[in-house]
Structure 1
Amino acid sequence: MAKDTSKQNKSNQRKRNDIIQFVSIVAAIVLLNYLATMTFTRLDLTEDKRYSLTDATTEKLQELEDIVFIKVYLEGDLPAGYERLRDATQEMLDEFRAYAGDNIQYEFIDPSANPNEEKRKQFYQKLSDKGLEYTNVRVNEGDKRSEQIIFPGAIVTYRDQEEAVQLLQSQMQTKPEVMLNNSIQQLEYELMSKVKVMTQYAKKRVGFVRGHGELDDLETADIQKSLSDFYIVDSVRINGQLDALQLHDAIVIAGPKEKISEKDKYVIDQFIMKGGKVMWFVEPVTASMDSIRKKGITLGVPQDVNLSDQLFKYGARINSDFLLDLQAVPIPVVTGMVGNQPKQEFFPWYYYPLLFPQSQHPIVHNLDAIKTQFASSIDLVGDTAIKKTPLLRTSKYTKVASAPHRVALNILRHEPDQRQYNNSHQIVAALLEGEFESVFKNRLTRKITENPEFRFKEKSLPTKMLVVSDADIIRNNVNRSEEKFFTLGYDKYTRKIYGNKEFVLNAMNYLLEDDNLITARSKDFKMRLLDKPRVERERRFWQILNTAAPVILILIFGVIQFYIRKKLYT
C-alpha cells in the first residue's frame, strides 16, 4: 500500500513539474513578446546581408509623411527566373514596411489577366506609355512554343506623383541568371531612388555650361530631362562673371570646342574651391564620322580648349590620342552591290570602344555596356592626397594612336593584328575626390588674391569631380529637321540602348548625394547556382531521397519516442 502511495506521489509531482514548466515557458514567451513591442530590431543572418537595408534607406522610410503605393506588374504564370524576381521584390517591400509601417503599400498585378486580347493590348500600351519596358519570353510546352509578354517593372505613386521603375536591369553579354541576380541586388536602390525623387522638397541645381562650343540643348536634351527628375537643371553662360555659378551645386562641361578664357577658368576653379561639383566631358582630339562616310577617310587632329593645365592640377591628364579597341560598337559598311542595291554588313568600328564596367564602385557597379566614339586615354597624375578612381576602361585588346592620325574605313578590310592591340585597359573616365588645390595658386598678384571682391581660395572644401575623355558619352542622337532627340545611349544601327544614361545619372547622384543612398548600388549577392549537368545526372536519386528521407526520419523518430515513453512510464 505504501509502495502504491509513493508511486502516486511521484506521478503527481511529475504532473506538477510539467504544469510549472509549461506555465513558465508560456510566461517567458509572453514576456519576450511584450519586450519586443517596446524595442525594434531585425537580425540578418545571411552572409551577404541581403535582407539588410542601408542606413539611408531606413532613415528615408521612417521619415515618410504619406503613403507610397507601389504597383508591381510581376504576377501570374511566370517563368522560374521572373518568379524569383517577384519573390525578391515582395521581400524587399516587406522590409520597407518594417520601417515605414502603413506608409508603404503595394499590390502585385498580372498585366495579362484580362482574357480579352484587345483590352489586354490596350493595357500593355498604357504601361508602355508610363515608361515600363516589356520583355518577350519564349515558353516551351512539349512540342509547342509560345511567347509571353512580361512587364518586369513597377509604378510608384506618392500623392499626385507617379514614377516608373524597371526592376529587371538588362546587361549585354551577361548570362540570364547573372542578370537576374544583379537586378535583385539593385532592387533597394531602384525603388528608393524613385521614392526619394517624389518626397524631396528642395532640389539641388545643375547647370550645363554654354558659350564655348559645347553640346547644345538638343544634343543633351535626354540627359537634362532625366536629371530634372532629381534636380533643377538649366543652362549657364559664365562670360567672366564671378557670381555666374553661385546658385549651382554642380555644373556639366560637355564637349567644348573653343578655348575657354582664363576668366571663365577662374570662375570654374573658384566654384570648385567652394565645394562645387563638376562633370568634365573634354575631347582633346576631333574626327568627323561624316567625312569618313563620304570619303572613306578623315584626319583626326588635336583640339586645344585651354583646360589641360587645370585638369592636370586637379589630378587628370587627357591625352591627345585615339583609342582603338577590338571590343567595339558595330557600324554598317557597304561591301558590294546586290543588283542595283548596296549590300551592307556590320563590322566592329575600332574607334568606337564598347566599355564594360568592371569596377565595384557604386557609379558603375552592374552597369550595362557604355558606348563611346573616338575616346582618348586618361592618365591619373599629381597630388597623392586626391583619391583617384578609374570608372571606365577599354578592353584587354586596345591600341593607342597619337594625333594627328589618319582614320580610314579600309582598316576593316583586314583582320586586326592582336599583337598591335597591346595597350590594355586604358582609362576613359575617372572620379577624383578630395581637397583640390587651385590652378591659380601662385599665379595671381596680391592685389587680386587679397581683394574681397574676388574672394580667392587656394584650397578647396572636400568635393568631387568626374573626368571623361569622350563627350559622346553624354550626347544623344538628334533629328535636326524635326527638332527631335533620341534616348541617350540609343544606337540607330543596332537599335540597342547602351548604359550611357545610367552612367551619367549615377555619377551625378554620387557627386551630389549627401545621404549615401547610392551605396545601395554596391550590394553584391553571391550566386549559388546549381551544377546543371550534375542535376540532370543525379535527378532520380535526389527525387527518391527527398521523397523517402522525410518518411523514414518520421518513422525513426516515432520508434524512439515510443521506447522513451515506455521506459519512462513502466
Structure 2
Amino acid sequence: MKTVAQLFFKKRYGVVLALLFFVVINLVAGLAPLRLDLTKEKRYTVSAATEKLLGELSSPLEVNVFLTGEFPSGFRKLAGSTQQLLSLFKQLQPTQLRYQFLSPGTATANGRSWGDSLLSRGALNINLTVQKEAGQSSNIIFPVALVSYQGRSQLVNLFPGASRSISQTELNTAEALLEYQFVSAIEKLLHTDKPGIAYETGHGEPVDERTYQLRVALQDDYELRTLDLTRQQAVPQGVDLLLLVKPTMPFLEQEKFKLDQFVMRGGKLLCFIDNLYAEMDSFARKPDMVAFDRGLDLQDLFFRYGARINTDLLMDLRCEFTYVQVGGTADQPQNEFLPWNYFPLLSAAESKLRTPGYIGTRFAHSIDTIAVPGVSKYPLLVSSERARTISTPALVSLNENSTLPENEKFNRSAIPAAVLLEGRFSSLYKNRVSMAQLDAWKAGGQTFRSSSEPTAIILAADGDLPLNEYIPVLDASGQIDARGGMEPVEMGWNKYTRFEALTQGAAGKYFIPVANREFV
C-alpha cells in the first residue's frame, strides 16, 4: 500500500501497493488492487500487493489494538472493522502475525500502563463522556494500534481526528484507510532504507508554512532535501524522485535540460503544476479576476513525454464550498457559503487508483495524453460526470456562485486532471544538443542520454493539491485561543469549512475531509 510518491519506488520493494484515504495503483505488476465486498457481512479481501508484503515477514509481527472499552457506536464499528481486517491478515500469515485488543489500562512488561506508554509516544487520545445507568463517566480512549517487529514499532492511527463521535462519512473514510494505515506501518518496519526525494526551489515554489503537511508526510519515509536547479549543474546522484510543486517562474532551456537528463537516467518526476495564475487572493480588492498563463515553459517537455496540461480551468458541480459575498456593502458584506465550481473534488479513475475520499483541488486544469512509442499513460484523478472546462484568458467572478450555475454547460465527465506516464522516454534534446553543450555536460562528469531507463512521471494539474492552509488555534472549549497563533489543517482541507466544523458553526456541515495527504 503506497502513496503516489511511494509508487515510484516499486522496484525497490517489488510491489505496487494500494492507498489516501487508500490509493491503489497497480498498473505494471498486474495485481488486483480492489477490496471486493464478497459477503453481506462486509467481509473484505485484501489486495494482492498486501498479500505479497505480508509474505515478506520472516519473524513474528505483533499488533496491539487499543480501541476497546465503552464508547459510542461509531468507534465500536471501527473496532469491528479493524478486527475484521486483522483476521484477514492473520489468515494470510497464521504463524508470523499475532494481534490482540487491549485496554489502555493494561500494564506493560515494565509495569507502566499502556495508556501512559502511548501518551509518551504522542498517540492520539480522545476524552469521552459515556452515559450509563448510574450517570455519566469520563473515559479516555486511544483509537490507535501499535505494530511491533524485530524490536521496532510503529503507531497506527485508526481514526484521523479528535472528535468525540464519528459521523458516517468519517467512519467510511477511517475504514477505507485501515488497510493503508496498517500496511504503511508494516512496510516501514520491513524496509528501513529511505529513497531520496528532492523538492525543487529554484522557480518560485512555495517554501513557507503551506508545505508543512507535505514535509511531515514525506520526511519519515524518505530522505528529503531541497534542490535549486538554477544553481546545480545536474540533479545530484542519490535523488530518486524530483518533486515540482506549484512553480511560478519560467524554466530556462538549461534547467529543462537538467530535468530531461534526470528522467533519462531513470529518475522519477512528481509534478503539481498550475499553468495559470488564478488565486483566491486576487478577490481581495474586487469580485473578479482574469486567469492568465504563467509562462512556465514546461509544455514541450511534458508533451515529449506524452501529456499536455491545458491552459484552461476545470469546473465541476461536485466541488468545495467557499465564502461568497451575495449582498451588503464593502464595509458590511453579506457572505454565504456556496459551492465554488473552481474547487473540484476529484475522484480516482476507475480501476487504476482508489482513495478513501475525494481529492480537493484549487483552480485545476484538464490534461490530454499524446501517443508516444514505449510510454503507457493512465488517468489517476478525474472530474465527476457533471464537469466542464473554460478556456483562457478566463474571467472568474465570485458573483458566478451567487446564482445557480448553468447546469446544461456541465456536460462532460471523467475529465483527467492527473495522469501517470511510465515506460522508456525519449529525450526532448535528442538531436538538438550542440557539441558545446555536450562538452560542457561531459566536463561536469555527466553523460548525455537520448532515451531513458524504464521510469515513471506523474503530472497533476493543480499546484495546490499537496499544500495546506492555516486556521486560528482553538482552546479546549473550541473558541479562538486568546493567545493567538495559527495551526495547519490537513493537506488540501478547506480552511473555512474545517474551522466551522471545529467551532460548531453552521457551515461545518460542508466540511469534507479530502484525501490529498494519502494521495501524495
TM-score tier by shorter-chain length is 0.7 to 0.9
Segments of 5+ residues of structure 2 without an aligned counterpart are 1-36, 107-112, 473-483, 499-510
CA distance in 2, matches of 1:56, 1:470: 30
Superposition pairs for residues 436-475 of structure 1, below 5 Å?
436-445=425-434, 448=437, 452=442, 453-475=445-467
Where does 1:117-196 land on structure 2 (aligned, <5 Å)? 130-132=122-124, 152-157=143-148, 162-167=153-158, 187-196=178-187
Q: Which moved more, 1:189-198 or 1:311-320?
A: 189-198
Which residue identity lines up with residue 79 of structure 2 in the other structure? R
- CA gap of 1:177–1:324, structure 2 versus 1, over 3 A, is closer
The unaligned stretches of length 5 or more in structure 1 are 1-45, 114-119, 505-570
- In structure 2, the residue matched to 1:418 is 407
1:256 to 215, 235, 247: 247
The CA deviation at 1:412 is: 1.9
Residues of 1 paired with 2:68 and 2:237: CA distance?
A: 49
Give 2:449's aligned amino acid.
K
Q: CA deviation at 1:187?
A: 3.9
What are the Cα deviations for residues 209-245 of structure 1, in whole angstroms up to 9, with x where unaligned? 1111112143212111111121111111123634433
On the 8 A contact 1:70/1:107 being kept in 2, the answer is yes
Partner amino acid, structure 2, of 1:503: F
Q: Distance in 2 between matches of 1:161 and 1:64?
A: 14
**Which of 383, 398, 405 is residue 409 of structure 1 equivalent to?**
398
CA deviation vs aligned residue, 1:340-388 (integer Å, no higher than 9, x gap): 96543100111111223342324xx133111111111111113153211
1:491 and 2:494 aligned: yes
2:417 alignment partner AA: V
**Counterparts in 2 of 1:411 and 1:75: CA distance versus 1, 3 Å:** same
Alignment match, 1:108: 101
- Residue type of the partner of 1:283? D
Alignment partners' CA distance in 2, 1:500 and 1:440: 34
Distance 2:123 2:391 in 1: 43
1:422–1:125 distance in 2 versus 1, CA, 3 Å: farther
Give the Cα separation in 2 of the matches to 1:235 and 1:103: 40
More displaced stretch, 407-416 vs 476-485: 476-485
Aligned to 1:333: 324
Q: Is residue 83 of structure 2 the alignment partner of residue 90 of structure 1?
A: yes
Q: State the shift of 1:482 in Å.
A: 6.0
Equivalent residue for 1:350? Answer: 341
Q: Which has the larger radius of gyration?
A: 1
Task: Name the SS of the counterpart of 1:195 in structure 2.
Answer: helix
Q: Which is further off, 195-204 or 103-112?
A: 103-112
- Report the counterpart of residue 476 of structure 1 in structure 2: 468
Deviation for aligned residue 1:132: 3.6
Deviation at 1:501, TM superposition (A): 0.8
Q: Does 1:368 align with 2:357?
A: yes
Count of matched residue positions in the alignment of Structure 1 and Structure 2 = 443
Structure 2 counterpart of 1:500, one-letter code? N
SS at match of 1:356: strand
Query: What letter matches 1:493 in structure 2?
Result: Y
Percent of aligned pairs with the same residue?
30
Cα deviations across residues 520-561 of structure 1 (Å, max 9, x unaligned)?
A: xxxxxxxxxxxxxxxxxxxxxxxxxxxxxxxxxxxxxxxxxx
Q: Given the two structures, how large is their TM-score scaled by the length of structure 1?
A: 0.67
The 3 A distance-change label for structure 1 pair 89 and 414 is closer
Instruction: Give a deviation string over 1:392-442, Cα, whole Å, max 9, x none.
Output: 112222232211111111112321111222233321111111111111112
Contact 2:248-2:294 at 8 Å conserved across structures: yes
Secondary structure in 1 aligned to 2:256? helix
Rounded Cα–Cα distance in structure 1 between residues aligned with 2:45 and 2:404: 50
With the length of structure 2 as denominator, give the TM-score of the two structures.
0.73
In the other structure, the counterpart of 2:204 is 213
Structure 1 range deviating more: 468-477 or 421-430: 421-430
**How many Å separate the matches in 2 of 1:322 and 1:138?**
49
Does residue 197 of the first structure (1) align with residue 168 of the second (2)? no
Residue 204 of structure 1: how far off its partner (Å): 0.7
Contact between 1:238 and 1:245, CA under 8 Å: does it hold in 2?
A: no
Query: SS of the counterpart of 1:430?
Result: strand
Helix, strand or coil: the match of 2:186? Answer: helix
Match of residue 11 from structure 1: none
Contact 1:132 1:164 in 2 (8 A): no
Please list the CA deviations of residues 298-342 of structure 1 after superposition, one character each: whole Å capped at 9, or x if unmatched: 11111111100000000110111112222221111233469x965
Residue of structure 2 equivalent to 1:75: 68
Please give the secondary structure, in 2, of the residue aligned with 1:239.
coil
CA contact (8 A) 1:61 1:96 kept: no
Q: Name the Cα RMSD after superposition.
A: 4.2
SS of 1:472's equivalent in the other structure is coil
Match of 1:36 in 2: none
Instruction: Return closer, same or farther for 1:337/1:331 CA change in 2, 3 Å cut-off.
Output: same
Counterpart for residue 516 of structure 2: 500
**Structure with the bigger percentage of helix:** 1
Contact 2:288 2:398 in 1 (8 A): yes
SS in 2 for 1:107: strand
Inter-partner Cα distance in structure 2 for 1:377 and 1:286: 15
The change in CA–CA distance for 1:321 and 1:79 in structure 2 (over 3 A counts) is same
Deviates more, 1:311-320 or 1:425-434: 425-434
Counterpart residue type for residue 315 of structure 2: L
**Corresponding residue to 2:238 among 230, 240, 247:** 247
Q: Describe how 1:184-333 pairs up with structure 2 within 5 A.
A: 187-239=178-230, 241-333=232-324
Moved more, 210-219 or 471-480: 471-480
